């Protein structure tokens, strides 16, 4: 055995002698490093997926400069901050007539190879053919092929010039059904009047400031895309979706800053606190185990500062021995996550990126691990200097001050006298009890709450998937030029959809948004007024001594007979179509907040079936820019038309065939029939002034059930082509629901990976903590054996310590989880994300079982050798 010549050798000796204990402490810290590494990797990986998704849907460019000269293009190309730059120009734009009452815009743009192959390539998807390679060649979008009846090899005349179609492309990102777009070859020698350029900058940070500086030097103004003045205007537009996922600040109107960094900081903070608690437990008991040794060093002349330096050196060794293997294993684990787990889950629905090492994550991991070890070590280091050397040698690791005797009637009733004794033992070291119990509660509660949230959201998607129909088509008619009867328009479009021969059933409705006053009625007491600061206003008012309700968000939903029959069936209503005659109306309910933990769906008004409901409609143009509610109310009172309804029932706006897209909770949704429309036809066709009908239909909406044997992809193409032709938007309800569900599964997978690592890290540290704590009680255990307690009963008491602590942590976690989930479910019910609330029984049992195993192992591992240890050795318990 080599002699110890200096204090520093004590650290080396300690690491050699106490290999098992140090190994378990290092293992706990390594798991913390793996946790930091993996969480950081997941954050960066998910960010890269979002960036890739943004590039594929919005383009691989940073900014577009419009209306600049060739000289300015050259200045940009020579700018050292500009990385990749492409040029394009709009060379032709005109309107053509389609059908009897519609027009479409044809646009032809000349683009260079960099635009086509790099910057715009993700959003210009070539279906067939090839890109233009010389003057006179064009590719045409898939909308234009149908409307213009042109295909590859055909020619088309634009602006007096003839072009040959060499390819057909699609642009799924911009569902603009009003424009037909074509792309031709950009000839550098041509004298284009208006030149636009798209480019990227070399820096990865603060792109917005650099681009704004470049633009200011060229005298180019920043605009939002929606406010662009069009061809010839000198302006620039950011790729805001991409910049949002980059985490850029000040990207302009309409975009909030990306809060992913804040989320990352919060997540790192939670993990740091949790791992610090766990590491503190291991280091604290390790130092307590050597109180007698440190006291001897103090007695032979070692100063407090020298002892503390030794402990700091130990902590540095812990960091060194933990960081390198932890980072390496963390990277291997991250590789497995990206190339095995996530690819299997997300490959079919979203973009994936290749595994790579994120050096910023490694740096953050190193810093957080050092902070973790420092915080976990600082208190034990300070405390060791406050212990009297004589007391440390005399009492050693059994130093106790004012231990309070603690009793629990519940524990005694459940586990008997031995259980109460076990409870007193674990509460003797109250700080350690609180830390380990709180850690267990946090881990188990997080697992139960997250699983409950995830399960209920997934169940909500499953229920919605069983209710919703296949497709929805939304046809805007508010600004259509030629039609007199909206219901005739509905029948016309319904006939056209039937002719497509893809639908088993078609449900139609007309939607109209109006302002009005409901007379002699009150709002549900839990619905708060929305006054001037709101876009959609709703207010209880007193009118001529009567309680009334004003709203500028009254949504008339006029359903055809098929839609009403389906609605009656789905809602289990005790009514028929005959009941809708004489202005019968159904009113969608609303989610209301009764108190912090009680949110429910309730009727908007207190009405009985058969009651009359009178509504004064504003007979004039709605001024949505008007802010003063009182002035709007006066306008209605002076210029109104009154309708009397027969109240039929309240319906759940969620439980309907296109579910959450049925109607917003912000509106008062009134469901009426075809009979109502024709009984009040003058409201929909009679003009109050030269511009507006009294009730001006906004849109005609169809919900479709596909034929059972039709190929869904074929049906989608047919419906997409038809929707573009009539300038409508369509939505694949089933696909949209599945994609949203898959996104939840992806995020859940990320979360479960993190939770699993936290549970493993916490479990190892809890086992280590309990193991060392029991070893520190050797003198106590030996004394009990000397007094005559048999080993079997002693083992039973020690095992009960683990069981009692498990019971306390599990019971507290279940109660806490139930309370949190109750509040969470009510909030989600209000935001229409779920419609039922359930406690995740399976997850609760699994989590409690894992925690039970951890506690039992923490006790079993040290006591399994008790029968081989002599009593005097335990009492002396010298190392």
pLDDT tens string 816-854: 988 888 777 766 655 555 555 567 888 899 989 999 998
- Asked if residue 393 is part of any domain, the answer here is yes
Q: What is the per-residue pLDDT for 692?
A: 57
Q: Where are the beta strands (DSSP E) in 796-852?
A: none
- Asked if residue 10 is part of any domain, the answer here is no
Gap between the Cα atoms of 440 and 586, Å rounded:
51
Q: Do residues 407 and 393 share a domain?
A: no
Q: Do residues 455 and 346 share a domain?
A: no
- Asked if residue 647 is part of any domain, the answer here is yes
Full DSSP string of 3-58 = ---SHHHHHHHHHHHTHHHHHHHHHHHHHHHHHHHHHHHHHHHHHHHHHHHHHHHH
Percent pLDDT > 90 in the chain is 13
Gap between the Cα atoms of 517 and 549, Å rounded:
6
Domain-terminating residue out of 399, 418, 444: 399
Residue scoring higher pLDDT (482 or 628):
628
Neighbours of 445 (CB within 10 A): 22
Q: Where are the beta strands (DSSP E) in 350-491?
A: 471-476
Neighbours of 216 (CB within 10 A): 11
Residue 256 has pLDDT above 70, yes or no: no
Gap between the Cα atoms of 560 and 579, Å rounded:
14
Q: Which of 26-35, 36-45, 617-626, 757-766 has the lowest mean pLDDT?
A: 617-626
- Asked if residue 481 is part of any domain, the answer here is no
Residue 690 — very low, low, confident or very high, per pLDDT cuts 50/70/90? very low
Q: What is the per-residue pLDDT for 346?
A: 56
Q: Do residues 446 and 533 share a domain?
A: no
Q: Are 33 and 370 within 8 A, CB to CB?
A: no
**Strand pairing partners for 702?**
473, 508
Residue (of 743, 584, 750) closest to 670 by Cα position: 584
- Asked if residue 75 is part of any domain, the answer here is yes
Ramachandran region, residue 136 (left: φ > 0; alpha: ψ -120 to 50; beta: rest): left
Q: What is the per-residue pLDDT for 613?
A: 93
Q: Do residues 564 and 682 share a domain?
A: yes
Residue 726 has pLDDT above 60, yes or no: yes
- Asked if residue 108 is part of any domain, the answer here is yes
SS3 165: strand
Q: Beta strand pairing status for 538-543 and 546-559?
A: antiparallel
Full DSSP string of 257-278 = PPTHHHHHHHHHHHHHHHHHHH
Q: Do residues 458 and 408 share a domain?
A: yes
Ramachandran region, residue 863 (left: φ > 0; alpha: ψ -120 to 50; beta: rest): alpha
Gap between the Cα atoms of 626 and 649, Å rounded:
33
Average pLDDT, the chain: 78
Q: Which two tokens stand for residue 756?
A: 């699993």
Q: What is the per-residue pLDDT for 869?
A: 56
Domain-terminating residue out of 210, 238, 266: 238
Gap between the Cα atoms of 433 and 855, Å rounded:
12
Domain-terminating residue out of 362, 377, 399: 399
- C-alpha neighbours within 13 Å on the C-beta side of residue 36: 32
Q: What is the per-residue pLDDT for 879?
A: 43
Q: Do residues 226 and 77 share a domain?
A: yes
Residue 295 has pLDDT above 80, yes or no: no
Average pLDDT over residues 555-565: 91
Whether the CA torsion 346, 347, 351, 355 is positive or negative: it is positive
Gap between the Cα atoms of 490 and 496, Å rounded:
10
Gap between the Cα atoms of 638 and 617, Å rounded:
11
Residue scoring higher pLDDT (502 or 591):
502
Q: What is the per-residue pLDDT for 661?
A: 43
Average pLDDT over residues 675-698: 73
Average pLDDT over residues 269-291: 73
Q: Which of 173-187, 189-203, 360-374 has the lowest mean pLDDT?
A: 173-187
DSSP 202: S
Residue scoring higher pLDDT (12 or 87):
87
Average pLDDT over residues 647-657: 78
Residue 559 has pLDDT above 90, yes or no: yes
Residue 1 has pLDDT above 70, yes or no: no
Q: Do residues 94 and 157 share a domain?
A: yes
**Strand pairing partners for 183?**
109, 139
- Asked if residue 173 is part of any domain, the answer here is yes
Alpha helices in 59-120 (DSSP H): 70-77, 113-114
| Residue-range definition of the domain harbouring residue 435 | 400-468+734-879
Q: Do residues 688 and 791 share a domain?
A: no
Q: Which two tokens stand for residue 723?
A: 């929707």
Q: What is the per-residue pLDDT for 667?
A: 84
Residue 77: phi, psi to the nearest 5?
-65, -30
Q: Do residues 68 and 50 share a domain?
A: no
Tens of pLDDT, residue by residue over 577-599, are 999 988 999 998 887 767 655 66
Q: Are 766 and 278 within 8 A, CB to CB?
A: yes
Q: Do residues 385 and 417 share a domain?
A: no
Average pLDDT over residues 764-783: 72
Residue 611 — very low, low, confident or very high, per pLDDT cuts 50/70/90? very high
Q: Are 810 and 444 within 8 A, CB to CB?
A: yes
Gap between the Cα atoms of 871 and 276, Å rounded:
36
Neighbours of 84 (CB within 10 A): 15
Percent pLDDT > 70 in the chain is 78
Q: Do residues 370 and 282 share a domain?
A: yes
Residue 174 has pLDDT above 70, yes or no: no
Residue scoring higher pLDDT (122 or 442):
442
**C-alpha angle with apex 878: 877 to 879, nearest 5 degrees?**
120
Residue 703 has pLDDT above 60, yes or no: yes
Q: Which of 202-211, 469-478, 742-751, 801-810 has the lowest mean pLDDT?
A: 742-751
Q: Do residues 64 and 196 share a domain?
A: yes
State how many domains the chain has.
Answer: 4
**CA 203 to chain centroid:** 29
Tens of pLDDT, residue by residue over 67-122, are 888 888 899 999 999 999 999 988 888 887 766 666 778 888 899 888 888 888 77
* Alpha carbon distances (Å) from 753 to 334, 341, 447, 750, 852: 10, 10, 11, 5, 21
Q: What is the per-residue pLDDT for 25?
A: 74
- Asked if residue 747 is part of any domain, the answer here is yes
pTM recorded for the entire structure: 0.69
Across 204-208, 383-387, 753-757, the highest mean pLDDT is recorded for: 204-208
């Amino acid at each position: 055995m080599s002699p110890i010549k200096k204090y520093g050798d004590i650290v080396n000796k300690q690491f050699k002698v106490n290999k098992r204990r140090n190994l378990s402490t290092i293992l706990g810290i390594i798991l913390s490093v793996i946790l930091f590494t993996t969480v950081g990797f997941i954050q960066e990986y998910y960010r890269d997926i979002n960036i890739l998704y943004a590039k594929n849907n919005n383009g691989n460019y940073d900014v577009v400069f419009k209306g600049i000269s060739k000289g300015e293009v050259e200045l940009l190309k020579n700018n050292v901050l500009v990385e990749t730059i492409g040029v394009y120009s709009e060379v032709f734009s005109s309107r053509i007539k389609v059908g009897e009452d519609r027009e479409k815009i044809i646009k032809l743009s000349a683009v260079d190879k960099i635009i086509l192959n790099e910057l715009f390539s993700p959003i210009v998807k070539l279906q067939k053919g090839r890109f233009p390679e010389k003057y006179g060649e064009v590719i045409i979008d898939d909308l234009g092929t149908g409307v213009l009846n042109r295909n590859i090899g055909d020619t088309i005349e634009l602006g007096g010039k003839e072009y040959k179609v060499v390819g057909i492309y699609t642009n799924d990102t911009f569902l603009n059904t009003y424009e037909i777009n074509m792309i031709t070859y950009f000839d550098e020698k041509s004298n284009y009047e208006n030149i636009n350029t798209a480019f990227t900058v070399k820096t990865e940070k603060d792109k917005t400031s650099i681009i704004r500086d470049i633009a200011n030097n060229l005298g180019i103004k920043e605009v939002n895309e929606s406010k662009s003045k069009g061809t010839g205007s000198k302006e620039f537009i950011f790729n805001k979706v991409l910049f949002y996922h980059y985490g850029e600040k000040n990207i302009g109107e309409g975009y909030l800053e990306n809060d992913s960094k804040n989320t990352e900081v919060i997540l790192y903070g939670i993990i740091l606190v949790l791992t610090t608690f766990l590491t503190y437990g291991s280091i604290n008991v390790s130092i307590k185990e050597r109180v007698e040794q440190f006291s001897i060093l103090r007695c032979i002349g070692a100063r407090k500062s020298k002892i503390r330096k030794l402990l700091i050196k130990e902590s540095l060794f812990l960091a060194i021995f933990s960081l390198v293997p932890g980072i390496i294993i963390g990277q291997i684990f991250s590789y497995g996550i990206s190339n095995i787990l996530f690819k299997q889950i997300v490959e079919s629905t979203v973009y994936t990126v290749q595994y790579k090492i994120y050096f910023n994550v490694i740096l953050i991991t190193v810093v957080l691990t050092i902070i973790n070890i420092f915080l976990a070590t600082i208190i034990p280091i300070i405390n060791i200097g406050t212990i009297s050397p004589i007391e440390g040698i005399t009492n050693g690791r059994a130093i106790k001050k004012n231990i309070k005797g603690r009793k629990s009637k519940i524990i005694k009733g459940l586990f008997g006298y031995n259980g109460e004794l076990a409870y007193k033992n674990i509460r003797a070291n109250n700080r350690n009890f609180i830390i380990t119990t709180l850690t267990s509660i946090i881990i188990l509660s997080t697992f139960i709450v997250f699983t409950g949230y995830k399960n209920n959201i997934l169940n909500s998607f499953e229920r919605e998937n069983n209710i919703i129909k296949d497709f929805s088509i939304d046809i805007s008619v508010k600004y259509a030029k030629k039609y007199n009867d909206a219901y005739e328009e509905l029948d016309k479009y319904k006939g056209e959809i039937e002719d497509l021969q893809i639908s088993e059933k078609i449900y139609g409705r007309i939607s109209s948004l109006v302002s009005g006053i409901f007379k002699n009625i009150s709002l549900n007491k839990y619905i708060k007024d929305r006054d001037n600061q709101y876009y959609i206003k709703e207010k209880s008012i007193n009118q001529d001594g009567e309680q009334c309700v004003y709203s500028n968000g009254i949504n008339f939903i006029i359903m055809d007979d098929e839609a009403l029959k389906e609605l009656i069936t789905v809602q289990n209503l005790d009514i028929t179509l005959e009941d809708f005659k004489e202005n019968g109306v159904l009113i969608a309910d609303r989610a209301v907040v009764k108190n912090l933990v009680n949110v429910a769906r309730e009727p908007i008004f207190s009405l009985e079936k058969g009651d009359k409901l009178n509504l004064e409609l504003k007979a004039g143009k709605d001024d949505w820019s008007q802010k003063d509610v009182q002035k709007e109310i006066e306008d209605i009172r002076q210029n109104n038309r009154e309708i009397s309804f027969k109240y039929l029932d309240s319906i759940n706006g969620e439980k309907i065939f296109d579910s959450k897209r049925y109607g917003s909770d912000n509106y008062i949704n009134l469901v009426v029939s075809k009979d109502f429309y024709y009984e009040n036809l003058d409201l929909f066709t009679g003009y109050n002034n030269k511009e507006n009908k009294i009730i001006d239909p906004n849109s005609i909406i169809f919900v479709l059930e596909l034929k059972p044997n039709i190929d869904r992809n074929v049906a989608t193409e047919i419906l997409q082509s038809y929707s573009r032709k009539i300038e409508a938007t369509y939505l694949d309800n089933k696909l949209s629901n599945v994609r949203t569900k898959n996104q939840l599964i992806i995020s859940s997978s990320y979360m479960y990976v993190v939770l699993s690592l936290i549970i493993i890290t916490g479990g190892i540290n809890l086992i280590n903590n309990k193991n060392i704590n029991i070893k520190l009680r050797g003198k106590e255990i030996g004394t009990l054996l000397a007094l005559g307690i048999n080993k079997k009963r002693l083992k039973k008491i020690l095992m009960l310590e683990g069981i009692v602590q498990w019971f306390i942590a599990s019971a507290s976690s279940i109660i806490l989880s139930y309370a949190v989930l109750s509040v969470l479910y009510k909030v989600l019910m209000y935001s229409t994300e779920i419609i039922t609330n359930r406690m995740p029984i399976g997850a609760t049992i699994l989590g409690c079982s894992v925690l039970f195993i951890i506690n039992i192992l923490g006790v079993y591992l040290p006591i399994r050798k008790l029968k081989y240890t002599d009593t005097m050795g335990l009492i002396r318990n010298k190392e």
